[in-house]
Each structure stands twice: as structure tokens, then as C-alpha cells.
Structure 1
Amino acid sequence: MEDNINSNIKNTKFSVLDLVPVAKGSTPLQSMQKSLELAQHVETLGFERFWISEHHNMESLVSSATPILIGHIAQGTKTIRVGSGGIMLPNHAPLIVAEQFGTLETLYPGRIDLGLGRAPGTDQLTAKALRRDRTETVHDFPRDIVELQTYFSKENSYAAVRAIPGEGLNIPLYLLGSSTFSAQLAGAKGLPYAFASHFAPTHLHEALKLYHQNFQVSEQCEAPYTIACVNIIAAETDEKAKFLETSLQQLALGIIRNTRKPLPPPVKTMDGLWHEVEKVQIQRMMHYSFVGSKETIKAQLTNFIKATRVNEIMAVSHIFDHQDRLRSYEILGSLLTEK
């Protein structure tokens, strides 16, 4: 059994998705400082990359100015790749994104990733405020990606509009998704694909299948490359991990009730806090949540990797206490030393 577990995890990279959560009683500044501490921690543990996700108008998250936070993390680390998971491209002009990430790559060469999503990362009213009079169509996202790639190309040096810095820099693009649309697009463009299974598990296997079926070799990728983002909460015992998980469950409850507040402390039981229908809805939403001790997490991840054949696991951990969060990633990271 042990050999089987190690062989399944053997070639899988581990990374972090951070939404820069605000725990109840904390300030935005403290949350940003804790994100840097987390990045420094997982860097020493051998994690591959540290991504920050763009969200707006949420009291529980302070990742709205994503490129600035990426720079904050990159400046405080040395080797770990840092990037976006992702930049919600419909919210921004491709030229602005090219200039911002060109600047980051110039400052931190060889360490910057640009993950791109087509969701707003917020509610519709806020999305309208971000986009002003622009109305998104199904064709905009693919066109914006082409425009972004054009700004990064050396050939664009003769164009009337150029991204400086950005032009000619090797900034890898990743397409993010929670449905099959971006999976097919990523495959057709020969780009790596990351699936948001931490909150939208329904189409994971279908999306991965379509990605592989549609994959075309590109300048960036000679072979398909897939990332699955999952919730991971690890602790010394299964019981403690399940206790810590109640913070995530309360956060999810706020999402479905549209009463989003800072990340609450864990509770002994969710009974009385949610209704049965809400419980089922949250359990479905958080289907890919791996919660438990090291041995439990290892077994769960082994089965998941075997079923999906993903190249990389990207963990998101909504844990109230910062030391518990650091310890969770330490336990996860310890699987790297067993390879």
C-alpha cells in the first residue's frame, strides 16, 4: 500500500492558491502580512508556486489589487514561482495586464506566472463598475488572450501599440476554469489548464477529458499540463482537522446566503448553524476537500491523483488560526520529502 501511495504522488507538484482571507478580528494589513509569511513558509517546504486570486467587493478577501500583492510576495521570497490564479481578464484591458506582468517579470525574472480567468471574481454590479460600459461576449475571452500574447511577442516590436515592459518576455500563461469552455480553449491553444475544483467540482473530469482531447502542441507546451485546485486542511489528527474545517463551512454558508463576512473561528459543530439543504449544498460545493491527518490526506490525494492524473495539486486552505494554517501546509509539504 505504501509503495502504491508514493508512486501516485511521486511526480505531482504541490502549490498554493491564496485568496488573502481576512480572519475575524484581523485587519487587511495583517492578512497581507500573513500571506507573505505563508509564501515564505511553503517556499522552504519545496512548493512549486504561490498564486493569488482576484476578487472584488468582499469583506472576507483582500486580493482585489492582485498584481500589487504578487509583487509583495515576490519581493519577500526568493525561488518560488508567484502569479495569479487568476487575473479575471474581462475586468481589464489586455494591454494593462501585459504591462503589469511585464513589470513583474522584469523585477523578478523567471518567477512570474499569469493565470487567466473569464469570470468576474465578484457580483454583477461590481463587475459593471470594473468594466464600465463594456459588455462581455463569448468571443471576448479568446480574443483577449490572443491580444495579450501579441503584446508579449517579439514580433510586436513593430506595432503601433506595444507593452513596455512586457514585449519579448517569457511569461507563461495558464487558463483557469470551472466549466468545459476554458478546458477546450486551453487545449486548442496548447496552454496549461487549472480547474477550480475547490468550489466547482461538477465538471472536473469532463473538463480534463476535453482538455486532453483538444490539446495542440504549442510554443509554451509540448504536452498537456493540468492543475487541480482543492481544499486541504491538515492537522495532527482527523478530529482536529474536521474542527478546523468548520471555518471553511461557515465561509461557504455565507456565500450561499450572500452574507459574506471575515473568516470565522471554528466551532464544535455546524448543527444549528446550517439547514439540511444548505449542508448538502455546501458538501457538494466542497466535494474536493481533503481533511484530516497526514495519513488521511496522503490516502485521499493518492486516490484523487490516480483518478484525475493531474500534474499538480494547488491547495487552498481556509483556516482561521494562522499557525494552524502554516502547520497544515507543513503536513502537506512533508509528503514531498517522501518522494
Structure 2
Amino acid sequence: MTTPRRPALSMLDLVAVREGGTVADALGIALATARHVEGLGFTRYWLAEHHNMPGIASSATAVLVGHIAGGTSTIRVGSGGIMLPNHAPLVVAEAFGTLAELYPGRIDLGLGRAPGTDGPTMRALRRDRVETEEDFPRDVAELQRLLGPAQPGARIVAMPGAGTEVPIWLLGSSLFSAQLAAQMGLPYAFASHFAPRMLYQALDLYRRLFRPSAQLAKPYTIIGVPVIAAPSDEEAQYLASSTYQRVLGILTGQRGRLQPPVENYMAQLQPPERAAIADFLAAGVVGGPDLVREGLHALATATGADELMFVSDVYDPRLRLRSLDIAARAFDPAESAQAESA
């Protein structure tokens, strides 16, 4: 097997609150994980904005970005993403401008156009604001202006923010953001960790329509990849049952804390439930070192992604770090050569 071009590796953290644990525990685990993957040479560590969800502690995303950046030294830290409909662009620019001044050259601003929550919570966040399809492109452009050089005579200036040029990324799970990112010449991250159905269409559209910009000369893509790795395929499937439980909860509207693994969990479900989980995690890679290597190589080759962003919901934090160690070795030339000669 030919070793594919090595994509950059990164991490997306939903900051899961574990059954039997606390929010403070979840925040501590996130920082420990960020430090660990920094040591593995990961490019960036992103945090996702979600609201009113009992098992996720990343609602104050900009605050967490600062916490993680302050506890690490080299890895880029950012939002994956800030849900722009929930916020005024000026507030986002000031928050991320402040972060950029505190941690120069290390902050990313990933933007999504979904609310990241349910209807009632969305109304609580936005009050009486009514979102239209034109708002997101306009708000992205306003953020670019606010984070760019201050213009003479401008009545509104982000301070901090102006002149920081915080890199903006567009996130999405459909073709809308892919097309917008291409038109604006921005890097693009596809949310294949939970909505993989349009992955290949979105990447193709983005690359075909891409227009070079001051920020980016050629297309750059990240794809989200659920990864659960262990020394054996059987143990990986056992550990992945925590993820399977979380996904089933999302699909049935019964969100909760991250649950401990369960033996033979999938076998206990009805066929439609198993199929729904498999569809949700179609871009996922679960297994021992060989299976993970093969799966990640195949995904990297098929998508041509510049960067793989892992999501790894393992209940035991120590085994989560081990899972990331195994996944990181998938593109190690020595490991690949050993696998080929075996």
C-alpha cells in the first residue's frame, strides 16, 4: 500500500461532560487533551459552540479558546465554530481580536451559520432577531472588515480586533458554505464528523469554484473524522459504544452526558437504530492500529483533504489520549513501512 500525502492532523473538542463527572472535570480533560495533542504535533485544537445541552460544556466558546491557548504554547486554538447567527459581528471581532493580541499567530475563527441549539434556546440567544439567507455572507464580510486594518474615517472599529487579521474559516455540512467559502477565497471545514452525506459534493464544489484571495492562494480543506482507536478492533468497538450511545441520543432527542462503554451495545439495538448510527458516523474510523491506519489512509486519499480533524469521544480520558496516539501514528512513515512489510 502506498502511503498517501500526510495530511495535517487536528482535534475538535465538544468538551463532553461525562456521566459521574462535572463540568470542571470536562474543562480539565479538554486542557489535558490539548496539551497531549500539541505534543503529538497536531496543527490546531478547535472547540464547538453548543447551547442548552447537558452533556456539552463548550457554550462559552471564546472563553474556552482563551483557556486552552493559555495552557498550551504552540498549537493553534480556535472555534469550530462560532455560530454567527447567535452573535453580532462586532462582539465576535472584539473577543477574537482580544485573543489574537494575547496569543499572536495562534487563534482561528471558524464560523458556522446554524444556531447550534434548539428553537427555544435560539430565541433566548437572539431574542427577536429573524435570520435570512443573506445575513451570513454579510456578517462574514463585516467580520473580515472589522479584523482587517482600521480604515480612516470608519465609524465602527473593533478594539481590540482591528488589524489582527484573525484567519476566518467557513464551516458547513451542506453546499451553501462550500460555495461561499470558494467565492470569498476562505479555507473550508466540512462537518463530516456528524453529517457526512454531502462531503464529496461539497469538497468538489469548493475546489471548482475557489477564487484566490488575500488570505488564501489556493483551496484548503479540513474534514471532521470520528476516531476511536485501541490496541485491538474488539476493544475499539467496545470503547466506541460511548459514541454510539451519544449519537443515538442526538437522533432521538435524548441528549445527555457521555456514558461509559457497554459490551455488545450495537447488537442490542434494532436494525433501524444501527443503520442510523452508521449513517451518522459514515466518515468514522474505529478499530485497532491496522484498521485505523487503513481507514484514515483511505479517507485521506478519497477526499484529498489537507487536514483531518479528529473527534474522539472516549469515556476514559486516558484511553482517549491513547486513541489519539494510535490515530496520529497512522501517517508515521516508519509505522506505515512496518505495516506494508508485515
Say if 1:253 and 1:274, in contact at 8 Å, map to a contact too: no
- Does 2:324 match 1:306? no
2:90 maps to which residue? Answer: 95
SS of aligned partner of 1:14: strand
SS of aligned partner of 1:154: coil
Alignment of 1:1-339 (within 5 A): 1=1, 4=2, 6=3, 8=4, 10-271=5-266, 273-338=268-333
Deviation sequence 1:281-338 (CA, Å, 0-9, x none): 1111111110111221111111111111010000001110000101111112223543
Instruction: Please list every run of 5 or more consecutive structure 1 residues that lacks an aligned counterpart in the other structure.
Output: none
Give me the whole-angstrom Cα distance separating, in 1, the residues matched to 2:147 and 2:267.
Answer: 53
1:77 Cα shift? 0.1
1:272 Cα shift? 6.9
Give me the whole-angstrom Cα distance separating, in 1, the residues matched to 2:62 and 2:80.
Answer: 11
Give me the whole-angstrom Cα distance separating, in 2, the residues matched to 1:336 and 1:284.
Answer: 26
Counting aligned pairs with the same residue, the percent is 51
SS of aligned partner of 2:151: helix
Give me the whole-angstrom Cα distance separating, in 2, the residues matched to 1:292 and 1:11.
Answer: 20
Deviation sequence 1:253-287 (CA, Å, 0-9, x none): 11111111100001111257533212211111111
Q: Identify if the C-alpha distance between structure 1 residues 101 and 271 changes in structure 2 by more than 3 Å, giving closer, same or farther.
A: closer
Give me the whole-angstrom Cα distance separating, in 2, the residues matched to 1:111 and 1:271.
Answer: 40
Give me the whole-angstrom Cα distance separating, in 1, the residues matched to 2:131 and 2:303.
Answer: 32
Q: 2:292 is matched by which residue type in structure 1?
A: I
Paired positions, count: 334
| Structure 1 vs Structure 2 CA RMSD | 1.2
Deviation sequence 1:166-185 (CA, Å, 0-9, x none): 10112101000000000000
SS of aligned partner of 2:69: helix
SS of aligned partner of 2:163: coil
Give me the whole-angstrom Cα distance separating, in 2, the residues matched to 1:299 and 1:54.
Answer: 31
Q: Identify if the C-alpha distance between structure 1 residues 101 and 72 changes in structure 2 by more than 3 Å, giving closer, same or farther.
A: same
SS of aligned partner of 2:90: helix
Instruction: Please list every run of 5 or more consecutive structure 2 residues that lacks an aligned counterpart in the other structure.
Output: 335-342
1:134 Cα shift? 0.6
